């Protein structure tokens, strides 16, 4: 909807992102704000939001279905949820890329029985609950989305069908083994905040 406010947190990108974003102002209520590491950029965007729900998306995300956001909001409202996420799909990756993302989706479904988690690729949050939790931990250097969503009660969390497409850039940058190992260690350290405060070199190219 053209009335929906879109905030793009830009961390001094050099690819013309601000100019491209602002070229849509004739069709969308879009603004560019100061970004930083994901926690900082997401919190800055949330501070500008005035809606009941806040949807966080990564920059390289494409919705697999045009009705995904609407269905996520309807699910959140109907069941009074605090957090709604969806599956991750990798359309253009190789077989290993797709299998790793499939593994993530399976683990995410299983997590609903213990400590559910969402990724920042698609994370719809109840705005009041987001503020109660004080947003994303800005000192966290890795998996800030995982850490925040772990604080949501199981009965207030859901996964909406549909999915989002992402790229395989994470695997290209870090390698399949390292990404898989980081994911496994993160799952094993869900209770250990100090793990998330360490520098895992995730943002180094």
Q: Judge whether 41 lies within some domain.
A: no
Convert the pLDDT of each residue in 74-87 to its tens digit.
999 999 999 999 99
pLDDT range class, residue 204, cuts 50, 70, 90: low
Q: Which long-range contacts (CB under 8 A, 24 or more apart) does 131-136 make?
A: 131/46, 135/39, 135/42, 135/43, 135/46, 136/38, 136/39, 136/42, 136/43
- Give which of 186, 191, 112, 197 is closest to 155, Cα–Cα: 112
pLDDT at 2 exceeding the cut of 70: no
Q: Judge whether 28 lies within some domain.
A: no
Q: Judge whether 12 lies within some domain.
A: no
Report the CATH number at residue 88. Answer: 3.90.550.10
Q: Judge whether 88 lies within some domain.
A: yes
Q: pTM here?
A: 0.92
Task: Provide the number of structural domains found in the chain.
Answer: 1
Q: Judge whether 181 lies within some domain.
A: yes
Domain membership of residue 62 as a residue range: 52-197
Convert the pLDDT of each residue in 143-188 to its tens digit.
999 999 999 999 999 999 999 999 998 899 889 999 999 989 998 9
- Could you give the count of Cα atoms lying within 13 Å of 180 in the half-sphere of its Cβ? 11
Q: Judge whether 90 lies within some domain.
A: yes
Q: Judge whether 15 lies within some domain.
A: no
Main-chain dihedrals φ then ψ at residue 157, nearest 5 degrees: -125, 145
pLDDT at 193 exceeding the cut of 90: no
Q: Rounded to 5 degrees, what angle do the CA atoms 20, 38, 135 make? A: 120
What gap in Å lies between CA 182 and CA 199, rounded to an integer?
12
Q: Judge whether 93 lies within some domain.
A: yes
pLDDT range class, residue 199, cuts 50, 70, 90: confident
- Give which of 131, 124, 142, 146 is closest to 197, Cα–Cα: 142
């Amino acid at each position: 909807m053209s009335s929906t406010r879109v905030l793009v947190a830009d961390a001094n990108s050099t690819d013309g992102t601000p100019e491209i974003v602002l070229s849509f102002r004739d069709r969308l209520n879009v603004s560019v704000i100061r970004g930083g590491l994901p926690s900082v950029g997401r919190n800055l965007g949330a501070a500008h939001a005035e809606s009941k729900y806040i949807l966080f998306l990564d920059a390289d995300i494409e919705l697999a279905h045009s009705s995904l956001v609407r269905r996520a909001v309807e699910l959140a409202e109907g069941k009074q949820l605090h957090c709604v996420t969806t599956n991750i799909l990798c359309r253009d990756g190789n077989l290993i890329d797709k299998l790793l993302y499939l593994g993530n989706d399976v683990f995410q479904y299983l997590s609903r029985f213990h400590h559910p988690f969402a990724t920042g690729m698609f994370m719809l949050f109840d705005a009041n609950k987001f503020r109660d939790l004080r947003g994303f931990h800005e000192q966290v250097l890795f998996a800030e989305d995982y850490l925040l969503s772990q604080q949501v009660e199981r009965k207030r969390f859901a996964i909406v069908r549909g999915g989002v497409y992402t790229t395989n850039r994470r695997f290209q940058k870090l390698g399949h083994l390292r990404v898989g190992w980081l994911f496994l260690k993160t799952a094993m350290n869900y209770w250990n905040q100090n793990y998330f405060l360490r520098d895992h070199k995730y943002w180094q190219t």
